[in-house]
A and B are shown apart, each in its own frame.
Chain A
């Protein structure tokens, strides 16, 4: 079954690579956004099956802040893709009920493992 994936990434090159990986794995990227507010709006609008969320993004809130707000109205699974491997960030991310936490650059295998888990 094709999953709807939302990509939240402020770097467009990385966003493109992630999109390509998702498509290679046979799924569909419904939208790529660059801000936390954009992510909240996209979740409300498209109700995705998975969010690939960068932590350090454009705007007033980071990816984890945005996810905390999304959690008030949606249980959509989230995978954090971040350049920041600090334990404090990971602890905050875990509190939002993530299903994956990967340090950039993310490989095709990383995403594949997450999407396989999602099917189960």
Chain B
């Protein structure tokens, strides 16, 4: 039986409480329901008294009060929390005013007003200063009105004798004290609970912070390791390019040494040409390890240096041959830079060897442009021209190499002798990075 009453009690005070609500809010909601329920219980004393006295006006008034308190609990159940709070505020004001006037100031009904600060804090969020102020003001005004009516009008709708008045005063004193203590205990308990919760959250926060710091240190270490590893790899790659370049320098030096022991000019010339091909590759590695990215080169810089050493190595350099360059800002990756360099080497060598045999001066034009992703190389000289055909190809390694390097670039080329100029036009696609 007791358990059943307790269950009902719990059921009523948990009306409107939902798991999605915050801890603080659901506590406050239960406190409001508890308050409404206590008001109903205390009102029942008056309900029975007025029924016994057959005073129907206050009887109906108390019935209205009880119904309104019950309705405020219902409003919580249907999630109308603010409306419920204002209804409790209105109802407590109404009950205290009505019965203070009806039973007289000495009956002690006004004692309930002393619980109002805690009631207000139960009803409204402490952040809502305006709501709290209005509520407090309404209770103060209520007290002033009661005191005023008691002093100046003294309605005597229902007169109770001094003994009854003392009993009422005692009952109201006890009930208001119970409400006051109940609410005080609630706030004390709630504050303790919030404090404990805060301490717990704080500990969790400190723990999380420590874990984050540890994680941060670990990440920082990993990042440093990654940077270190990357730097080491970059140094290593740079060193590899450097060594490849040095090894190629040794190969060309060996060939150079060989030329010192040869008398046949034709063979010496062949060795020189081979040296230049190797030097083109060596220069590429040099430019690669000089470049920050280590995987691509600036074509303009590479081409200019390539031209310089080809000019130096050519035997007929006493001739006045000018090389004009017009090169867009293009970077090429290793896989394209090597065939490109070798292609250019062959073209320039070919011009120097054959184009200017019958004249002492001449011009070579190298134009490299980038359009969207297509690279266009236009190479021309104003020397003797020739027809690039299978017959000529079968006799010349240089021409075969030009064709091969163009294929390696996945490109196409055309050649023609027009207006006393031998023109080569190459097109190839730049590798997407």
Instruction: Please give the residue numbers on chain A whose beta carbons come within 8 Å of chain B beta carbons, in ascending order.
Output: 11, 13-14, 16-17, 20, 24, 83-86, 103-105, 107, 109
Contacts and interface: CB of A to CB of B under 8 A. Distances in A.
B32 interface: no
Interface of B: 242, 245-246, 249-250, 252-254, 256-257, 260, 279, 282, 286, 290, 309, 312-313
Contact of B253 (A14, A103, A109): A14
A83 B245 CA distance: 8
A60 to B, nearest CB: 19
Given A105-B252, A105-B279, A107-B312, A83 B246 contact: yes
Contacts of A84: 242
A86 B287 CA distance: 11
B273 to A, nearest CB: 15
Contact of B282 (A86, A105, A107): A105
Contacts of B286: 83, 85, 103
B255 to A, nearest CB: 10
A14 B249 contact: yes
Nearest to B252: A105
A111 B286 CA distance: 21
Given A105-B279, A107-B313, A13 B242 contact: no
Contacts of B257: 13, 16-17, 20
B260 A104 contact: no
A38 B175 CA distance: 111
A20 B253 CA distance: 11
B246 A13 contact: no
A109 B260 contact: no
Nearest to B287: A85
B189 to A, nearest CB: 74
14 contacts: A11-B246, A13-B253, A13-B254, A13-B257, A16-B253, A17-B256, A20-B260, A83-B242, A105-B249, A105-B252, A105-B256, A105-B279, A107-B312, A109-B312
